Structure 1
Amino acid sequence: MKHLVSFKNIQKTYDGLRPVVKDLNLDIDEGEFVTLLGPSGSGKTTSLMMLAGFETPTQGEIFLNDKPLHNLPPHKRNIGMVFQNYALFPHMTIEQNLAFPLAVRKINSVDKKQKVSRALDMVKLTDFAKRYPAQLSGGQQQRVALARALVFEPKLVLMDEPLGALDKQLREHMQLEIKHLHQQLGLTVVYVTHDQSEALTMSDRVAVFNDGVIQQIDTPTAIYEAPNKSFVAQFIGENNTLLGTFVYRDEQYAVARLADGSLIRAVPVAHSQPGDQVALCIRPERVLVGNAGSTVITARIQEYIYLGDHVRMITEIAGQPNFMVKLPISHMNHSWTVGSSISLSWSPEHIRALDAAPY
């Protein structure tokens, strides 16, 4: 498959000293939905803005369809953009807002009318064509912004936190709308967010950024189930970390010792030597109460958090607090109380021995 976008050895610094983006190499294929995910200041938005043409790389080159972009201004890159603040023209009606990018590209009036009509229909706003942005809800304005980015039929659409201003229910609805449009139109989408669930829901691949570097890029399933660094495990979803000391590696698993002497087998990811500290990471939903898993350990209950359909039970293991277990309400045992000791268990393939570097 042909790469539509390629970042090659990209560096970006604003002060000549501290790089905001460090040695970025990333290929994006035609038709892919790739999300750049990370905390504030991690370099994800700067990377998107360099692709859009609003920022210039300090070093390296960005290619679109195998052509370098460094001499091409933003309006000539033929890229659709959707921002969090909508950026609609308040003095124009909705159909005039959609017609604007077509007028800039000197599309004739007949084609312009057809394209605007098709874009309005695509986002289900045909009845709102004569209204002004101030007469629409936030969700409707975001649909207009989306339609405006798509009306000139770009091959590539960039989205920077486009759903950040919407409430939870509307945001989840718009996530599916954008994903369906991506599939129907065969778009290539590069999407920036700090919302992990948004990234997991919508993407073909997720690039997790931290400190200007992609820590891991993979499918949502692999990012969640098989993080390769402690930062990724902690940043994506909920995660438990037990700090231990690497002892040895058998044919399949790494073996680490906790402070109380318990030996834990885990999938080896970090390149550890005996005596190194490792972070043993496991998702709360992979932890079982009782002895059903092959690794069994004693825990002390610290707290219950009731969340309607499930309970989060916070426990302490080997002197380490805040080890979380997710339990369906039907699995609760009302004889358990704060301070009680219980057995927890899991399968070793669900716990990963990662680097113990600070994050």
Structure 2
Amino acid sequence: MKHLVSFKNIQKTYDGIRPVVKDLNLDIKEGEFVTLLGPSGSGKTTSLMMLAGFETPTHGEIFLKDKPLHNLPPHKRDIGMVFQNYALFPHMTIEQNLAFPLSVRKMNSVDRKAKVRKALDMVKLSEFATRYPAQLSGGQQQRVALARALVFEPKLVLMDEPLGALDKQLREHMQLEIKHLHQQLGLTVVYVTHDQSEALTMSDRVAVFNDGIIQQIDSPPAIYEAPTTRFVAQFIGENNTLLGTFVYKDAGLTVARLADGSLIRAISAVEAVPGDQVALCIRPERVIVGPAGSSPLTARIQEYIYLGDHVRMITEIAGQPDFMIKLPASQMNASWTVGSTISVSWAPEHIRALDMTTH
């Protein structure tokens, strides 16, 4: 499959001193849904804006279909854009908003009407064609913004936090709508968000940004289950970190010692020598709770939180507090109370030994 977009050695600085994006190399295939995910200031939105043409790289080159973009203004890049604030023209009706990008491209009125009708049908808003943006709900306005980005049938659509202003239920509904449109139309989508669940739900690949660098780019299951850095492990979903000392490697697994002397076996994702500190990361739902004494690891319950379908227990393990265990509510035991101890374990493939750095 050909690459539609390529970032080659991209750097961006606004003050000539501090780079916002550092040596970005990223290839995006035709038909892919790639999400740029990261905290505020990590460089994800700047990267998107350089692709759109609203920002210029300080160094490096961006290619669209193997053609460099540096001399092309935004309106000639043939890229659809969807923003968080919708950016609809308030004085135009919905059909006029959708017709605008077609007028800019000098399309005749017959073809224009046909494409507007098709785009409105696609987002199920045909009956609202003559209304103005202010007469629509937030979700409807966002669908209009999506239709306007797709009306001229671009092969590439960029979305910058498009669902950030919507409530949780509507946001989840729109995530599925966008995903279905991506699949039906064969679009290539580059999507920016700081919402991890959104990234995991919608993407073919997720690029996790921090401090201007892609920390890891992979499929959602790999990003969640097999983080390669401590930052990714902590940023994506919920994560427990136990601090241990590297002892040796055994059959490819890291063996590390906790403060109480317990030995932990974990998948090795770090280069270490005996005596090095390592971060042992495990998801709360991967922890197995058994009867007291059934496992070499003992956890003391500090707090537990009932959340309907599941329970979160905050525990202390080997003198390290705030270790979270997530269990279905049906597995709760009435004898587990604050201050009591339980035995915990996990499969070695569910815990990862990572570098101590958090950025």
TM class by smaller structure: over 0.9
**Equivalent residue, structure 1, for 2:154:** 154
Q: How does 1:154-303 map to 2 (within 5 A)?
A: 154-290=154-290, 296-303=296-303
**Number of equivalent positions:** 358
The answer for the alignment partner of 2:129 in structure 1 is 129
Instruction: Compute the displacement of 1:287 (Å).
Output: 0.3
**Residue 12 of structure 1 corresponds to which residue in structure 2?**
12
Identity of aligned residues (%): 86
Q: Residue 75 of structure 2: SS of its match in structure 1?
A: helix
Task: Tell me the CA shift for residue 295 of structure 1.
Answer: 6.6
Give the equivalent residue in structure 2 for 1:83: 83
Match of 1:36 in 2: 36
- Structure 1 residue 9, shift from structure 2 partner: 0.2
Summarize the Cα distance change of 1:354–1:291 in structure 2 as closer, same or farther, 3 Å threshold.
Answer: farther
Deviates more, 1:247-256 or 1:171-180: 247-256
Matched AA of 1:32: E
Q: TM-score, normalised by structure 1?
A: 0.99
Q: State the AA in 2 paired with 1:278.
A: V
**Correspondence 1:55-66 to 2 at 5 A:** 55-66=55-66
Stretches of 4+ aligned residues off by more than 4 angstroms: none
* C-alpha distance after superposition, 1:261-290 (max 9, x if no partner): 110000000111111110000000100101
Deviation at 1:327, TM superposition (A): 1.0
State the AA in 2 paired with 1:8.
K
Paired residues of 1:295 and 1:347 also in contact (CA < 8 A): no
Report the alpha carbon displacement of residue 222 of structure 1 after superposing the two structures with TM.
0.2
Task: Assess if the C-alpha contact under 8 Å between 2:291 and 2:342 holds in 1.
Answer: no
In the TM superposition, residue 358 of structure 1 has moved relative to its aligned partner by 3.3
Aligned match of 2:324: 324
| Alignment match, 1:101 | 101
Per the TM alignment, residue 306 of structure 1 is displaced from its structure 2 partner at its CA by 1.1
State the alpha-carbon separation in 2 of the partners of residues 94 and 305 from structure 1: 47
Tell me the alpha carbon deviations over residues 153-174 of structure 1, each in whole angstroms, 9 at most, x when there is no partner. 0000000000000000000000
Residue by residue, what CA displacement relative to the aligned partner does 1:79-116 show, whole Å, maximum 9, x if unpaired?
00000000000000000000000000001111100000
Give ranges in structure 2 of 5+ residues lacking alignment: none
Report the Cα offset of residue 336 of structure 1. Answer: 1.0
* CA distance, structure 1, for counterparts of residue 200 and residue 8 of structure 2: 26
Aligned to 1:120: 120
Answering whether residue 3 of structure 2 is matched by residue 3 of structure 1, we say: yes
- Find the residue that maps to 1:338 and give its secondary structure: coil
Hey, what does 2:355 align to over in structure 1? 355
Give 2:315's aligned residue.
Answer: 315
Partner residue, 1:306: 306
CA contact (8 A) 2:262 2:296 kept: no
- Paired amino acid for 1:348: P
Cα pair 1:37 1:193 within 8 Å, conserved: yes
User: Using the alignment, how far apart are the partners of 1:295 and 1:156 within structure 2?
Assistant: 53
TM-score w.r.t. length of structure 2:
0.99
**Alpha carbons of structure 1 residues 18 and 295: separation in structure 2 relative to 1, 3 Å:** farther
Q: How far, CA to CA, are the matches of 1:99 and 1:296 in structure 2?
A: 67
The Cα shift of 1:259 comes to: 0.6
